[in-house]
């Protein structure tokens, strides 16, 4: 009997698939199409178990769709621009381009042995000039349609990476990659007009039924729609009114002061001849913006001396303060303070001795606030005090509506919808990114590059040698020749934009490029309309906002420019966010008591090679720093790709984290070897039919087909695998004849094929099949075989299980009742009592109520 040697089996079938080109995606008029995509990797140089899990899930779907008669597009590429390449060049010398392409070669070589059903002919890297040249073309089209613009703005400056960051890339006041405290700087930058799409990006979320609710909610919160009112407050000195934004106009009676941002034009103007104000503004600008610091930071202010008139109660004059807590970026940069109904305003008012005036009380409890503000409840009714809109006791939601109506009717302000989402700043002061195709000319100003000059390629050399990356900053900016060019408009001497695009731009449209990866235009209409949308997108939850929101914007912008059909404006029909691969952490302590980490492969039975016992820290995401990593390359070498694939799918639901354990991997391998043994035994044996055993085996086969199919279609891979284990046990123990066993073994091979494709091909081959199991038609369960002729019903007495009874599947309810009541155990339990009621749920349960 042949032994299961994974390496031989896997090499053999990968070779056979490649020879027949079976994964090349081809448009086919007579087949439904299916586009499955996993978030493409950054070419760090090594694949990790998270990649294996991600791509295996996609591969299961892709192979299942091939077997169910679809034209499948399952591509792979590289998100190849970005800082690590420049950092590597800085740290170890060399060139980002060489580093990146060599990493891609390494990773491809690690990925191919996994046996993924990828159409490698469509592979590209975002740093290929053929790709980013088309991205530059998109930029020019966006510019023409007003979807990109240039403005002077206060931006997030990362002092370590020496570049600007988008708001989305600042986490807790720190750069998302460098972790450095972000500073605020004023620079001229390019922006995508994503804010034009706020409402659409928000409302379209409702249509994304096959996205995780969590991701939709996160995007909804990020877009941050709020409804309120803009109210001008007239200045007593006759200057331009100060416009405040509020979502609670019903509390306007309680307004006792105005607070404006230090960045507000009024603050700036006043600061010109008020040194103490200028100092205050400078101080707030330096302020630590981390969350923890914000929480602790004192709410500080400074009285400007200005007064404004209350819009509704003109006899009241309100002082104007500059407050360090007022953000210029949100609303109008000015708010009115309502101490009675807002805790922050109350704290501020108490600190600086400002008035507290109620707009409402809780009905029947007229208690003035002292230390705790009376925040308007959402649903409960409140009693408004002599309210300008004429309302008395009502919910604050009604109060808001009435107040907005009042302001609009009296021309005192207007209802206003605001979004938190701001435009996407895309300029980065980096080398290793897509150059922005813009030229600055002294005569013509800002001029778009001509499309025929694209791609504007990154320079590899400076002078005769490769660019020097040893000093920080942007090498394009200090390059001696690259930035000099000819003005596309007047032909005179001009300078190139030296900023490159945020790498999130690269990943915002790669899914569309895969539909026509070699085209001379960003997309090709017939390919895009055939393959788009992505039917199933799979990746990590960490991209819930940035990448997915940007992609949704890009698809819309590409549609406006004619690069995608209207139907592709939501590019991902279904999204699945998979969990991480975790592992226990093994550590010892150094002399100072600091943890020293050890690789799992160096720990045997909780001990190091020298016998030292290790401390075991509970499972966490695999990370190099904690050394709790298992290299897929080693696993594939030891057990084969099928074992790695089977294991990452088997133990946990795909959306949850899965813990990699050596014993689990070992068990997966043993199981595959067992299947190989069982099937090879069946293939070579010749036993006569055994009608009853044959039927029982085939019934379980059909149930297995049914459950595995359902599992694969609903991301229930772990449950599907559990059923396959069960079916393997049934098959191993079955007394059926060889005919039925071969049929069952063939089905087993087919059902395992999406998960363990190499072994499945081998089983299929051993069973004498001549085609590929990969392309064979997916088995279909016979509904008649899914229900047994007799069913075992539990009998409950008052909801407690007391007995079981076997009855024919279509036995009449009253017959079942009779049989149940005649059961020994039931009679014993009843002990002569007369049942009040008997509930029979056909095929499920019998409950006797006494």
Q: How far is the CB of 167 from RNA (least distance, A)?
A: 7
Answer for which of 87, 195, 718, 769 binds RNA (CB under 7 A) is 718
Query: Is 533 in contact with 523 (CB distance < 8 Å)?
Result: no
Contact call for residue 661 and RNA (CB under 7 A): yes
Show contacts with RNA in window 686-715 (CB under 7 A): 710
Helices 546-560 and 129-144: crossing angle, nearest 10°?
A: 70
Tell me the CB-side half-sphere exposure of residue 4, using CA atoms within 13 A.
25
Nearer to RNA, 809 or 844 (CB): 844
Answer for which of 7, 287, 412, 608 binds RNA (CB under 7 A) is 287
Q: How far is the CB of 582 from RNA (least distance, A)?
A: 10
Contact call for residue 732 and RNA (CB under 7 A): yes
Q: How far is the CB of 239 from RNA (least distance, A)?
A: 20
Nearer to RNA, 72 or 793 (CB): 793
Q: How far is the CB of 827 from RNA (least distance, A)?
A: 13
Cα distance between residue 243 and residue 247, in whole Å = 14
Q: How far is the CB of 226 from RNA (least distance, A)?
A: 5
Quote the Cα angle for 116-122-125, to 5°: 95
Show contacts with RNA in window 147-176 (CB under 7 A): 171
Query: Is 777 in contact with 69 (CB distance < 8 Å)?
Result: yes
Show contacts with RNA in window 578-637 (CB under 7 A): none
Following DSSP, what letter does each residue of 32-44 receive, concatenated? -EEEEEEPPPP--
Answer for which of 291, 317, 615, 812 binds RNA (CB under 7 A) is 291
Answer for which of 153, 218, 524, 696 binds RNA (CB under 7 A) is 218
- Provide the CA 278 distance to its chain's centre, in angstroms: 43
Q: Where are the alpha helices (DSSP H) in 40-82?
A: 49-67
Contact call for residue 667 and RNA (CB under 7 A): yes
Cα distance between residue 578 and residue 49, in whole Å = 12
Nearer to RNA, 289 or 529 (CB): 289
Show contacts with RNA in window 252-271 (CB under 7 A): 261
Answer for which of 313, 330, 361, 530 binds RNA (CB under 7 A) is 330
Q: In Å, what is the CA distance from 510 to each residue of 61, 430, 598, 790?
A: 20, 21, 38, 55
Which range touches RNA (CB under 7 A), out of 75-83, 141-149, 265-273, 659-667?
659-667
Nearer to RNA, 578 or 774 (CB): 578
Site string for RNA, 639-658 (x = CB under 7 A): ------------xxx--xxx
- At residue 434, φ and ψ (nearest 5 deg) are -80, 120
Cα distance between residue 299 and residue 347, in whole Å = 8
Q: How far is the CB of 297 from RNA (least distance, A)?
A: 4
Cα distance between residue 397 and residue 376, in whole Å = 9
3-state secondary structure of 323: strand
- At residue 154, φ and ψ (nearest 5 deg) are -75, 125
Cα torsion through 48, 50, 52, 54, rounded to 10 = -150
Nearer to RNA, 297 or 383 (CB): 297
Q: How far is the CB of 299 from RNA (least distance, A)?
A: 5
Q: How far is the CB of 61 from RNA (least distance, A)?
A: 18
Nearer to RNA, 241 or 710 (CB): 710
Contact call for residue 344 and RNA (CB under 7 A): yes
Q: How far is the CB of 457 from RNA (least distance, A)?
A: 35
Following DSSP, what letter does each residue of 230-275 receive, concatenated? EEEEEETT--PPEEEEES-GGGGGG--EEEE-TTSHHHHHHHTT-H
Q: How far is the CB of 727 from RNA (least distance, A)?
A: 9
Contact call for residue 333 and RNA (CB under 7 A): yes
Show contacts with RNA in window 527-586 (CB under 7 A): 541, 544-545
Q: How far is the CB of 813 from RNA (least distance, A)?
A: 12
Q: How far is the CB of 728 from RNA (least distance, A)?
A: 8
Which range touches RNA (CB under 7 A), out of 295-303, 361-369, 460-468, 500-508?
295-303
Q: How far is the CB of 376 from RNA (least distance, A)?
A: 11
Nearer to RNA, 291 or 477 (CB): 291
Which range touches RNA (CB under 7 A), out of 186-194, 203-211, 219-227, 439-447?
219-227
Answer for which of 722, 776, 821, 830 binds RNA (CB under 7 A) is 722
H or E element at residue 14: helix 6-20
Show contacts with RNA in window 85-124 (CB under 7 A): none
Contact call for residue 177 and RNA (CB under 7 A): no
Binding footprint of RNA, residue count (CB under 7 A): 80
Q: How far is the CB of 740 from RNA (least distance, A)?
A: 18
Nearer to RNA, 248 or 823 (CB): 248
3-state secondary structure of 514: coil
Q: What contacts 63, CB < 8 A, 6 or more positions away?
A: 117, 753, 754, 757, 774
Contact call for residue 351 and RNA (CB under 7 A): no
Residue 547 is given by DSSP the state H
Site string for RNA, 296-325 (x = CB under 7 A): -x-x------------------------xx
Q: How far is the CB of 425 from RNA (least distance, A)?
A: 15
Contact call for residue 517 and RNA (CB under 7 A): no
* CB-count exposure of residue 255 (10 Å: 0-12, 13-18, 19+): buried
Q: What contacts 548, CB < 8 A, 6 or more positions away?
A: 215, 219, 572, 575
Instruction: Report residue 828 as tokens.
Output: 């014993």
Answer for which of 725, 780, 808, 809 binds RNA (CB under 7 A) is 725
Q: How far is the CB of 575 from RNA (least distance, A)?
A: 15
Residue among 805, 796, 792, 806 nearest 829 (CA):
796
Instruction: Report residue 443 as tokens.
Output: 């005569």
Instruction: Report residue 164 as tokens.
Output: 């600007």
3-state secondary structure of 130: helix
Q: Which residues pair with 415 in a beta bridge?
A: 229
Answer for which of 177, 268, 309, 420 binds RNA (CB under 7 A) is 420
Q: How far is the CB of 158 from RNA (least distance, A)?
A: 17
Contact call for residue 721 and RNA (CB under 7 A): yes
Answer for which of 178, 195, 247, 489 binds RNA (CB under 7 A) is 247
Nearer to RNA, 110 or 219 (CB): 219
- Provide the CA 87 distance to its chain's centre, in angstroms: 26
Q: What contacts 227, CB < 8 A, 6 or more positions away?
A: 247, 400, 415, 416, 417, 418
Query: Is 417 in contact with 435 (CB distance < 8 Å)?
Result: no
Query: Is 535 in contact with 34 (CB distance < 8 Å)?
Result: yes
Cα torsion through 739, 744, 746, 748, rounded to 10 = -160
Which range touches RNA (CB under 7 A), out of 119-127, 519-527, 568-576, 666-674?
666-674
Strands 33-38 and 615-621 come out as unpaired
Q: 734: how many CB neighbours lie within 10 A of its CB?
A: 19
Residue 570 is given by DSSP the state S
Q: Which residue has the tokens 């098959």?
A: 731
Nearer to RNA, 278 or 541 (CB): 541
Contact call for residue 741 and RNA (CB under 7 A): no
- Provide the CA 684 distance to its chain's centre, in angstroms: 49
Q: How far is the CB of 673 from RNA (least distance, A)?
A: 6
Show contacts with RNA in window 796-815 (CB under 7 A): 796, 798-801, 804
Contact call for residue 5 and RNA (CB under 7 A): no
- Provide the CA 476 distance to its chain's centre, in angstroms: 33
Contact call for residue 221 and RNA (CB under 7 A): yes
Answer for which of 145, 184, 185, 214 binds RNA (CB under 7 A) is 214
Cα distance between residue 98 and residue 94, in whole Å = 7
């Amino acid at each position: 009997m042949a032994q299961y040697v994974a390496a031989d089996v896997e090499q053999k079938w990968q070779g056979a698939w490649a020879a027949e080109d079976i994964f090349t995606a081809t448009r086919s008029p007579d087949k439904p199409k299916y586009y499955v995509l996993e978030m493409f990797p950054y070419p760090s140089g090594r694949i990790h178990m998270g990649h294996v899990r991600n791509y295996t899930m996609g591969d299961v779907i892709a192979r299942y769709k091939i077997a169910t008669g679809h034209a499948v597009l399952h591509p792979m590429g590289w998100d190849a621009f970005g800082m690590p390449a420049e950092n590597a060049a800085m740290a170890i010398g060399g060139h980002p381009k060489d580093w990146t392409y060599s990493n891609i070669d390494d990773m491809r070589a690690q990925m191919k042995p996994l046996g993924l059903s990828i159409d490698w002919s469509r592979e590209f890297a975002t740093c290929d000039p053929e790709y980013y040249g088309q991205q530059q073309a998109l930029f020019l089209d966006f510019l023409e349609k007003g979807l990109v613009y240039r403005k002077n703005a206060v931006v997030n400056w990362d002092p370590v990476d020496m570049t600007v960051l988008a708001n989305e890339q600042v986490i807790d006041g720190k750069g998302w990659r460098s972790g450095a405290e972000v500073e605020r700087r004023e620079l001229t930058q390019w922006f995508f007009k994503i804010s034009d799409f706020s409402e659409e990006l928000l409302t379209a979320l409702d249509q994304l039924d096959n996205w995780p609710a969590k991701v939709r909610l996160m995007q909804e919160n990020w877009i941050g729609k709020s409804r309120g009112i803009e109210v001008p407050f007239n200045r007593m000195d006759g200057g331009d009114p100060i416009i405040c934004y509020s979502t609670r106009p019903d509390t306007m009676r309680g307004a006792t002061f105005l607070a404006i941002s230090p960045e507000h034009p009024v603050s700036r103007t006043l600061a010109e001849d008020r040194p103490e104000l200028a100092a205050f503004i400078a101080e707030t600008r330096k302020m630590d913006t981390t969350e923890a610091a914000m929480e602790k930071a004192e709410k500080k202010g400074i009285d400007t001396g200005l007064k404004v008139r209350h819009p509704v109660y003109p006899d009241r004059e309100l002082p104007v303060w500059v407050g360090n807590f007022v953000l210029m970026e949100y609303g109008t940069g000015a708010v009115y303070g309502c101490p009675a109904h807002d805790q922050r305003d109350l704290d501020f008012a108490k600190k600086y001795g400002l008035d507290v005036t109620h707009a409402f009380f809780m009905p029947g409890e007229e208690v003035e606030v002292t230390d705790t503000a009376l925040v308007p409840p959402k649903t409960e009714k409140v009693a408004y005090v002599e309210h300008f809109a004429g309302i008395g006791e009502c919910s604050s939601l009604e109060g808001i509506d009435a107040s907005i109506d009042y302001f609009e009717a009296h021309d005192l302000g207007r209802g206003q919808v605001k979004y938190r989402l701001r435009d996407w700043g895309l300029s980065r002061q980096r080398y290793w990114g897509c150059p922005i195709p813009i030229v600055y000319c002294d005569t013509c100003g800002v001029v778009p590059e001509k499309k025929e000059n694209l791609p504007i390629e990154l320079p590899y050399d400076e002078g005769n040698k490769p660019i020097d990356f040893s000093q920080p900053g942007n090498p394009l900016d200090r390059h001696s020749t690259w930035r000099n060019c000819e003005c596309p408009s007047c032909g005179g001497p001009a300078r190139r934009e030296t900023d490159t695009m945020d790498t999130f731009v690269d990943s915002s449209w790669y899914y569309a490029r895969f539909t026509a990866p070699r085209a001379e235009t960003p997309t090709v209409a017939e390919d895009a309309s055939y393959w788009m949308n992505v039917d199933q997108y799979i990746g990590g939850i960490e991209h819930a906002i940035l990448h997915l929101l940007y992609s949704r914007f890009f698809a819309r912008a590409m549609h406006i420019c004619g690069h995608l059909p209207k139907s592709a404006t939501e590019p991902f029909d279904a999204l699945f966010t998979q969990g991480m691969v975790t592992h226990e952490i093994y550590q010892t302590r150094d002399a100072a008591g600091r943890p020293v980490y050890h690789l799992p492969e160096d720990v045997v039975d909780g001990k190091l090679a020298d016998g030292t016992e290790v401390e075991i820290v509970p499972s966490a995401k695999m990370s190099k720093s904690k050394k709790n990593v298992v290299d897929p390359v080693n696993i594939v070498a030891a057990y084969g790709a099928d074992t790695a694939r089977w294991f990452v799918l088997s133990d946990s639901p795909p959306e949850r984290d899965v813990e990699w354990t050596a014993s689990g991997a070992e068990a997966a391998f043993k199981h595959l070897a067992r299947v190989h043994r069982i099937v090879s035994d069946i293939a070579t044996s010749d036993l006569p039919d055994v009608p009853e055993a044959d039927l029982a085996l085939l019934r379980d086969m059909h149930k297995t087909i049914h459950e595995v199919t359902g599992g694969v279609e609903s991301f229930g891979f772990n449950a599907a695998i559990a059923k396959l284990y069960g079916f393997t046990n049934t098959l191993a123990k079955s007394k059926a004849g060889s005919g039925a066993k071969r049929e069952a073994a063939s089905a087993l091979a087919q059902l395992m094929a999406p998960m363990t494709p190499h072994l499945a091909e081998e089983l299929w081959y051993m069973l004498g099949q001549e085609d590929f199991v990969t392309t064979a038609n997916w088995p279909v369960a016979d509904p008649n075989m899914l229900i047994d002729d007799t069913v075992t019903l539990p009998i409950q007495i008052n909801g407690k299980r007391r007995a079981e009874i076997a009855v024919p599947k279509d036995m009449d309810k009253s017959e079942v009742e009779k049989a149940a009541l005649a059961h020994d155990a039931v009679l014993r339990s009843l002990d002569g009592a007369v049942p009040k009621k008997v509930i029979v749920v056909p095929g499920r349960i019998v409950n006797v109520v006494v």
